[in-house]
Amino acid sequence: MSIIYQESTKTFYLDGKNVTYAFFINYAGYAEHLYFGKKIPHDDLLYTRMRGPDSCIATAPGRDDQFIEPIFSYIDFPPEVSFFGTGDYREPTILAQMEDGSRLSDLLYDGYSILSTKPKIEGMPSLSGGETLIVHLVDSINSLKADLYYTVYDDCDIVTRRIVYINDSDKIINLKRAYSFAIGLPGHNYEALSLYGSWGHERMIDRTPLHHGVFSIDSKRATSSAVLNPFLGILEKGADEDKGEVYGFNLVYSSSWILKAQVTLDGQTIICGGINDFDFSWKLDPKEEFSTPEIVISYSNEGLGGMSRAFHDAYREHLIPEKHVKSPRPLLINNWEATYFDFNNEKLMSFVDAIENTGIDTLVLDDGWFGARRDDTAGLGDWIVSEDVLEGGLSTIINYANSKGIKFGLWFEPEMVNEDSNLFREHPDYAIGVPGHGRCYSRHQFVLDLTRSDVRDYIVNSVNNILHNNNIQYVKWDFNRNVTEFFSAELPAERQSEFAHRYALGLYDLCDRIIGGNPNVFFEGCAGGGARFDPAILSYFPQIWTSDNTDANERATIQYGTSLVYPLSAMSCHVSVCPNHQTFRVASMETRSNIAHLGATGYELDPTQFSNEDKEEIKNHIDVYHKMRKLIFEGDLYRLNTPNDNEFSFLVVAKDKSHAELLCYRRHCGPGKEVYRVRVKGLSENKNYYIPELNATISGKTLSCVGIPVAFPYGDYMTAKYHFVEK
Ligand code: DGJ
C-alpha cells in the first residue's frame, strides 16, 4: 500500500518511489498540507505547524471557536485547496457563484476512498497506473462538493492531483475559477523557472526569484502555446542541474492554463493552477460534476536533472501510449523544407529512389496535397486529394514507395479552414467567429469550432476517408495558428466563457476518434513547430515536432529546454539542409545528425541532392541511431553544463548503468578557448567503463570526479561523441 490514513492524527501519507506526500484534516475540518519531499517514515508531522505572528485571523463560518486551537488560525495553514469569502485572502483554488449571487465556499472533510485502479478523467487525458486517494470535501450550505484526487506511483517521484467539483444541490452553480490543485510549500526562499518562447524559439529557460505577491504564468490562447509551456519549476535558491530541491508542476492540458506561485504574508509559498480562470466560467447544473485537468507534481533533491528524470520516467511509464514509448519509430524523410508546395508525383518518386538503401523507411508528404492548396492561402478543410498535383490520387506515389519498401505518411491540419475553401463556402459557421464581427486572419486561415459535434464529425469523416482508402502509416497533425474570437454559435450566451475548455474537450474527442480509430497509423503532433508541446498531446502523440527551427545550433538549445520536462523520445528532430532555412547557418552533416540523434530522428531535405558522401554519412548515422535508439529512448538523461556555456553536453545512461553515450557540443572555436573537460556524472561509481574513443578503461568514480577532455574537431558548431561500456 502506498497510501495510508493514520486515524490518530487524521493524516494521509502517500509514498512514491523516493517521495512522501503528507497532509491532514485539521481541527476545523480543512485539508492542510504537511509535507512533500524525500521519502520519510510516517511520523506525526503535526509538530511542524506554526502560525506566523502577523497572520490575519478569521473564524470558520458560523463558528466563533478559533481560539480552541490557539496556535493556528483556520485560514493561514498550508492548503491542499483554498477558497474565497471566509477569511482566506490567498489565491483561491475555487470561486463558485451560487444562484443567489453569493460566492463563498467552505469545503470541509467528508471522508475518503482509496482506489487501486486509477479512474480516467472523462473526456480528458491523464496518466495511468498508481494508487489513488480521493478525499471528499463538502460545503453543506451550498451542497457543493469537491473530490480531491491524488495518485502516487511506486516507480517514479511524482504525485498527480486534480479536483472534481460536484453540484449536489438543486440549483445552478457557476464555477468562475476551478483550479486543479493547491499546495503550500514551507518558506519562500525559492526561484521560479519557466519555459518561454515563440515560433522557432520554443522552451527557453527563464529563472527568477519569488517575491511577496503572486508570480503567474499562463496561456489565454486555447492552446498550451510556445509562449509559455504549462510547466512551473519551483527551485530552492541555489539549486542547479545536480543539487538542491526542485518541485516541478506540469499540467496535462492543451487549452488556456495558469500556474501561480504566491508568497504569503507569513512567508509560505502556495502553488496553484489549472484551467485559466481568465474568460472562464462553467455552468454546473444540478447534480452535474466538473472535472479539472491533472497536474503532475515532481520532487527532486538532485536539482533540475533529478526533476527531469522524474518527469521522463513518469511520462514513459504512465503517459505516452505504451505500444509506442519504447518501440522503434518511423525513420522518415519529410518533403516540407525540400519542396514546400512545389511537388508532383515525379518529384516525390525521385525522393523515393534517392532514399532507397539509406535506412530511411518512410516518406512523409507535408502540406499541399489536397483541395486548392497550391500555397497557404487556400484549401484547408478540403481533405480531398488534389489531382492537379498528384495525378491518379495518392495511390501513385504510395504504390511506388511501397514497391521499394518505403512506407508513406501524410500531413493534416484537421482543426483549420481557409476562407478560400469549399468547406468555408458551404459552412462559414464552422469557423470560430462572433456573428457581426470580422475574424482575425492568421496565415490566411481560421480555426474550426471544435466545441460543435457536427464540426468534429466532419473532421473525423474527412480525415478517415483518406486514411481508410490509402495505405498510410504515419500522420503529422499540424496546428498553425492561435484561436481568436472565442465564441461558438451553438453555445447559449451564459456558456460562452466555457469556450476555451470546450475547445480542449473537442480536440481530445477528435484525438480519441481519429487516433484511437486508426491504431495502425503512427501520429506525430505539431503546431507551427512546437507550440502545443504538453503532456495531454503527448498522451496521444508519442512524438511532437519540437520546432520549425531545424538549425543544429539553435536546436541544441531548444532540445535542452524541452528536455527539462519531456523525454528525448518525445522530441521529433530532423536533419535539414545547409544553409539552414531558418538561420542561414552552415553546420556539418555530422553535427546536424548528432543533434537530431537526441530524439526521434528524421530528415527534412531534398534527398536527390545527396552527394555520395552524404549518403554514406546518413547510412552511418541511421546505423548508429538504430544501435543507440533504445538507450536514447529509455535511458536517464544528465545535462552537463548549460546552453549559456560555449560547450555543453547531454549524457544518456542506461537504467542499469551498463553503458552510456555522451554528446558534447561546442558553439564556437578559436584561439583562447579553454579545453572543455566534462565531468561524466550519472555513471556508476563502482563500475569501470571502456571508452572506445579514448581506448581507455576508467572507473565511473574517476570519470565523475576528473572527467574527460573533449576533443572537438576544429570549426564552429562541432560535436564530439563518447561511449562508455561497462568492463
Ligand atoms: C508548420 C510545420 O511546423 C511545418 O513543419 C510544416 O508542416 C508547415 N506547417 C506546413 O504548412
Per-residue pLDDT, 65: 54
Pocket test for ligand 1, best of 545, 546, 576, 581 (most atoms within 8 A of CB): 545
Q: How far apart are CA 641 and CA 260, in angstroms?
A: 29
Cell readout for 434 is: 462572433
Question: Could you tell me the CA-to-CA distances from 215 to 146, 199, 363, 603 in Å, in that order?
Answer: 26, 24, 45, 40
Mean pLDDT of 265-293: 96
Give the Å distance between the CA of 376 and the centre of ligand 1: 10
- Residue-level pLDDT at 76: 72
Instruction: List the grid coordinates of 416.
Output: 483549420
Q: Annotate 228-256 with DSSP letters as a single string.
A: B-SEEEEEETT--SSSB-EEEEEE---SS
Main-chain phi, psi angles of 594, to 5 degrees = -65, -35
Please give the backbone phi and psi of residue 124, each rounded to the nearest 5 degrees, phi first: -140, 145
**Model confidence at 60: pLDDT above 70:** no
Most confident of 34-48, 73-87, 666-680: 34-48
Report yes or no: 583 and 717 within 8 Å, Cβ to Cβ.
no
Q: What is the overall mean pLDDT for the chain?
A: 95
Residue 271: strand pairing partners: 183, 261
Choice between 87 and 390, residue whose per-residue pLDDT is larger: 390
Cα maximum dimension of the chain: 85
Per-residue confidence (pLDDT) for residue 525, from 0 to 100: 98
CA 651, 661, 574 angle in degrees (round to 5)? 85
Amino acid at 636: D
Query: What are the angstrom distances between the C-alpha of 190 and each of 128, 204, 270, 299, 564?
Result: 31, 20, 11, 14, 18
Query: Is 74 strand, coil or helix?
Result: coil
Helix (H, G, I), strand (E, B) or coil at 456: helix
- Residue 49 reports pLDDT greater than 90: no
Confidence of residue 62 (pLDDT cuts 50, 70, 90): low
Picking from 364, 442, 245, 378, the residue whose alpha carbon sits closest to that of residue 607 is: 364
Going by CA atoms, what residue is nearest to atom 10 of ligand 1? 367
Among protein residues, the one with the nearest Cα to ligand 1's atom 9 is 528
Average pLDDT over residues 436-447: 96
Number of the ligand 1 atom closest to the C-alpha atom of 376:
11
Which of 199, 336, 415, 445 has the most ligand 1 atoms within 8 A of CB, as the residue to mutate? Answer: 336
Q: How confident is the model at residue 51 (pLDDT cuts 50, 70, 90)?
A: low
pLDDT tens digits along 206-264: 999 999 999 999 999 999 999 999 999 999 999 999 999 999 999 999 999 999 999 98
Å from CA of 407 to ligand 1 middle: 20
Dist CA 312 CA 233 (whole Å): 15
* Cell matching residue 514: 481519429
Residue 71 CB coordination number (10 Å): 8
Structural contact between residues 384 and 373, judged by C-beta atoms closer than 8 angstroms: no
CA 295 to ligand 1 center in whole angstroms: 29
Query: Residue 221: which of 199, 249, 191, 193 has the closest Cα?
Result: 199
**How confident is residue 28, by pLDDT bands cut at 50, 70 and 90?**
confident
pLDDT for 723 beyond 60: yes
Nearest CA to ligand 1 atom 2: 528
Amino acid at site 350: S
Q: Is 351 helix (H, G, I), strand (E, B) or coil?
A: helix
Measure 529 CA to ligand 1 centroid, in angstroms: 7
- Consecutive H or E run containing 523: strand 522-525
- Give the CA count within 13 Å in the CB-facing half-sphere of 676: 26
Distance 37 CA to ligand 1 centre (A): 42
* Residue of the CA atom closest to atom 1 of ligand 1: 528
DSSP for 629-672? HHHHHHSEEEEES-TTSSEEEEEEE-TTSSEEEEEEEES---TT
CA-nearest of 175, 193, 12 to 501 is: 175
Dist. CA 408 → ligand 1 center (Å): 17
Q: How far is ligand 1, taken at its centre, from the CA of residue 478, in Å?
A: 7
**CA–CA separation, 160 and 181 (whole Å):** 10
> Got the DSSP string for 291-313?
EPPPEEEEEESBHHHHHHHHHHH
Identify whether the C-beta of residue 81 lies closer than 8 Å to the C-beta of residue 94. yes
> What pTM was computed for the model?
0.97
Our mutation pick for probing the ligand 1 site, out of 480, 532, 543, counting the most ligand atoms within 8 A of Cβ, is 480
Residue whose CA is at the smallest distance from ligand 1 atom 11: 367
Rounded distance between C-alpha atoms, residue 581 and residue 241, angstroms: 33
Strand pairing report for 289-291 and 158-167: antiparallel
Per residue in 524-547, pLDDT (tens digit) is 999 999 999 999 999 999 999 999
Would you say residue 449 has pLDDT above 70? yes
Long-range CB pairs of 455-458, under 8 A, 24+ apart, other chains included: 455/430, 455/506, 456/506, 456/509, 456/510, 456/513, 458/423, 458/427, 458/430
Peptide bond into 92 cis (omega under 30): no
- 67 band by pLDDT with thresholds 50, 70 and 90: very low
**Which residues does ligand 1 sit against, CB inside 6 Å?**
336, 366-367, 411, 478, 480, 526, 528-529, 545, 548
**Residues pairing with 299 in the sheet:** 247
* Ligand 1 atom with minimal separation from the 548 CA: 3
How far, in Å, is the centroid of ligand 1 from the Cα of 480? 7
Q: How many helices (H) and strands (E) does the chain have?
A: 13, 38
* For the CA of 527, the nearest atom of ligand 1: 3
**What confidence score (pLDDT) does residue 687 get?**
98
The pLDDT of residue 70 is above 60: no
Mutate to test the pocket of ligand 1, among 202, 526, 549 (most ligand atoms within 8 A of CB): 526
Q: Are 573 and 529 in contact (CB under 8 A)?
A: no
Is residue 447 within 8 Å of 415, Cβ to Cβ?
A: yes
Cβ-based burial of 484 (10 A; exposed 0-12, middle 13-18, buried ≥19): middle
Residue in the block written with cell 531534398: 606
Q: What is the mean pLDDT of residues 82-104?
A: 92
pLDDT tens readout for residues 91-100: 999 999 999 9
- Rounded to the nearest 5 degrees, what angle is found at the Cα of 612, between the Cα atoms of 606 and 617? 80
Cell numbers for 559, please give them. 532540445
Residue 379 alpha carbon to ligand 1 centre in Å: 15
CA 101 to chain centre: 37
- Per-residue DSSP letters for 178-189? EEEEEEEES-S-
Report the atom number in ligand 1 closest to the C-alpha of 411.
Answer: 7
What is the Å distance from ligand 1's center to 528 Cα?
Answer: 6
Q: Nearest 5 degrees, angle CA 546-CA 354-CA 384?
A: 65
Ligand 1 pocket: which of 442, 478, 533, 581 to mutate (most atoms within 8 A of CB): 478
Pair 65, 33: CB distance under 8 Å: no
Number of the ligand 1 atom closest to the C-alpha atom of 526: 3
**How far is ligand 1, taken at its centre, from the CA of residue 550, in Å?**
12
Q: What is the pLDDT of residues 547-596, one digit of tens each?
A: 999 999 999 999 999 999 999 999 999 999 999 999 999 999 999 999 99
Sheet of strand 11-15: strand arrangement: 3-6, 11-15, 19-25, 31-38
Q: Does residue 96 contact residue 176 with C-beta atoms inside 8 Å?
A: yes
Known catalytic residues? 478, 548
- CA-nearest residue, atom 6 of ligand 1: 336
Is there a contact between 24 and 49 (Cβ–Cβ < 8 Å)? no
CB 32 within 8 A of CB 80: yes
Give pLDDT, residue 672. 74
Query: At residue 497, what are phi and psi to the nearest 5 degrees?
Result: -80, 5
Please state the atom number of ligand 1 nearest to the C-alpha of residue 476: 7
Tell me the pLDDT tens digit for each residue of 456-478. Answer: 999 999 999 999 999 999 999 99
CA-to-CA dists, residue 246 to 210, 306, 603, 632, angstroms: 14, 8, 36, 24
Atom of ligand 1 nearest to the CA of 366: 7
Scanning the structure block, which residue is given the C-alpha cell 484525438? Answer: 511
Per DSSP, the three-state class of 114 is strand
User: Who's near 119: CB < 8 A, 6+ residues apart?
Assistant: 132
Please give the Cα distance from 620 to 624 (Å, whole number): 6
Pocket test for ligand 1, best of 342, 367, 543, 550 (most atoms within 8 A of CB): 367
What is the DSSP secondary structure assignment for residue 591, as one 8-state letter? H
Q: Residue 554 CA to chain centroid, in angstroms?
A: 20
Is the distance from CB of 203 to CB of 465 less than 8 angstroms?
Answer: no
C-alpha 545 to ligand 1 mean position (Å): 9
CA of 147 to the centre of ligand 1 (A): 41
Query: Taking Cα atoms as reference points, which of 280, 527, 422 lies closest to residue 430?
Result: 422
